Structure 1
Amino acid sequence: MMIKISAGLERAFATGGFHEPSVEDLRDAAGVSLRTLYKYVPSRDDMVHAALEYRNGRYLEHVFQDLPKAPEEALETILERVAKWMETEASHGCLFHEAVAASPKDVRLRELLMRHKSEFACKAAKAVGMRHAQLELMLILEGLMQNWPLFHEAALEASKRLGLALLRAD
């Protein structure tokens, strides 16, 4: 039941932002009664967290499932999958950043954002054999995500050049 609710909440926040959807909109998106919604996620803050936790799992699976073993191929695949995600799931930018922007004083949201970004960076660095350059790799990936809405394929190609240069300099 929690997966169904979280998936619906993710869709609602991804399409309507974090201020616009009413509790009734969130209930409808989750496909449950108001009583069931509050049983599993007792507050709007909990609804945001449940949606983002669900999104984190989907995103990590999308990017890291069945990567090639060769570091250069793995890096290119990661970047291409991030671009594909941006194209199909996040045309306005990172939903985690959007959530923090909507509630900048929410410490739990900031911690969730940091955990999401750290987990992603760690997995990416491990997949391409660059654990010592985790921050540098994360800056390239974040640059792709932040610039995708403006530059699309050009952002992907620039990210590939930077990522491969970093990998080869290693």
Structure 2
Amino acid sequence: MIKESIAASLETAFSEFGFAEPSVAKLKSACDVSLRTLYKHYPSKEEMIVAALQHRHQRYLTFLVENAPNAGIDSIQHIFNMLGKWMLDYAPNGCMSINALAAFPENKLINETVKTHKKDVQRFLGEQSLRCDLATQLFLLHEGVSSAWPIIGDQALHSAQRSILNLLSES
């Protein structure tokens, strides 16, 4: 339980402060634990980042399907509406995974964590749309929204939603 609580606090801290700026002492304070407890569960800053990313991954996928229709085009539209809410409420500076990768491009553990997250999202979109053959296209629209959000906000979401309707109605 304490390990999950620390991961949740780390997610919040990295989301707020970014990845380069917070020292381990600042992260310890954000988690409201001793340095010994923090290092017991996450022995390095990189492992703290991975814990935060993994926690966020689970929270994100759960958030996307909250009150969603079972599957198909309505489910995908709902997921993209939820993506807009997520960006507004939890990721106004863009995708936390991509930000972590940008801050630590050579770190294999962070790189693999981000790749796993992105592949899971791609697979998830294919499954939810009932169109696994369109998983890559839907994923690219998803990534486009999260990348463009800090610059054009809702405009990215609305454009992606129009593209989804076109994509799914053509097939």
In the superposition, the TM-score normalised over structure 2's length comes to 0.96
Alpha carbons 2:71, 2:130 under 8 Å: kept: no
Counterpart code for 1:43: S
Segments of structure 2 that go 5 or more residues without pairing to the other structure are none
Q: Distance in 2 between matches of 1:65 and 1:91?
A: 20
Residue 83 (structure 2) pairs with residue 82 (structure 1): yes
Shift of 1:136: 0.7
Partner of 2:9: 8
Q: In structure 2, what is the equivalent of residue 123 of structure 1?
A: 124
Q: Which residue of 1 aligns with 2:92?
A: 91
Residue 143 (structure 2) pairs with residue 142 (structure 1): yes
Q: Residue 15 of structure 2: SS of its match in structure 1?
A: helix
1:72 to partner: Cα distance: 2.0
1:168 Cα deviation (Å)?
1.0
Report the residue type matching 1:57 in the other structure.
Q
Q: Percent identity?
A: 35
Distance in 1 (CA, whole Å) between partners of 2:143 and 2:35 is 37
Structure 1 runs (4+) deviating above 6 angstroms are: none
Equivalent residues, number: 170
Correspondence 1:15-34 to 2 at 5 A:
15-34=16-35
- Provide the C-alpha distance between the structure 1 equivalents of 2:112 and 2:169, rounded to a whole number of angstroms: 33
Superposed CA RMSD in Å reads 1.1
Name the CA distance, whole Å, in 2 between partners of 1:130 and 1:75.
10
1:134, CA displacement in angstroms?
1.0
Residues 20-169 of structure 1 correspond to what in structure 2 (within 5 A)?
20-69=21-70, 71-169=72-170
Q: Deviations over 1:77-116 (max 9, x none)?
A: 0101111100010000001011110111112211111110
Counterpart Cα distance in 2 of 1:100 and 1:70: 31
SS, match of residue 161 in structure 1: helix
Q: TM-score, normalised by structure 1?
A: 0.96
How many angstroms apart in 2 are the aligned matches of 1:152 and 1:85? 12
SS in 2 for 1:69: coil
Q: 1 CA distance for matches of 2:133 and 2:67?
A: 23
Alpha-carbon separation, structure 1, partners of 2:149 and 2:92: 8
After TM superposition, give the deviation of residue 123 of structure 1 in Å.
1.0
Shift of residue 133, structure 1, vs aligned partner: 1.2
